[in-house]
């Protein structure tokens, strides 16, 4: 699969049809996603890694917004 990723707009949006679910299974958590959800997460990481963001900048993933309802919320922060 070849995928062109445009991170110029710096928007943390989900791809059409993206499904991302996060489960807490004790001492770790599991991120489950369909292909559109995995592409969305990959784009978010690339955007956050870009020079336009500084240490301390972060993305919140919350149930009912970026994540499937009932998921565990989490944050990814750039250091």
Each residue of 21-72: pLDDT tens digit?
Answer: 999 999 999 999 999 999 999 999 999 999 989 999 999 999 999 999 999 9
Distance between alpha carbon 53 and the CA centroid of its chain, in Å? Answer: 15
Helix, strand, coil share of the chain (percent; to 5): 20, 25, 55
Q: What are the structure tokens assigned to 78, written together? A: 């750039």
Query: What local confidence, expressed as pLDDT, does residue 33 receive?
Result: 98
For residues 4 and 11, what is the distance between their CA atoms, to the nearest angstrom? Answer: 16
CB pairs under 8 A, 24+ apart, for 5-9?
5/42, 5/43, 5/46, 7/43, 7/46, 7/47, 7/50
This model's pTM is above 0.75: yes
Mean pLDDT, residues 4-19? 86
């Amino acid at each position: 699969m070849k995928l062109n990723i445009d991170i110029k707009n710096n928007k943390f949006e989900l791809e059409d049809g993206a499904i991302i679910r996060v489960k807490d299974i004790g001492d770790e958590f599991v991120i489950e996603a369909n292909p559109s959800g995995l592409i969305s997460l990959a784009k978010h990481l690339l955007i956050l890694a870009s020079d336009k963001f500084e240490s301390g900048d972060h993305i919140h993933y919350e149930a009912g917004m970026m994540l499937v309802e009932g998921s565990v919320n989490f944050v990814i922060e750039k250091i």
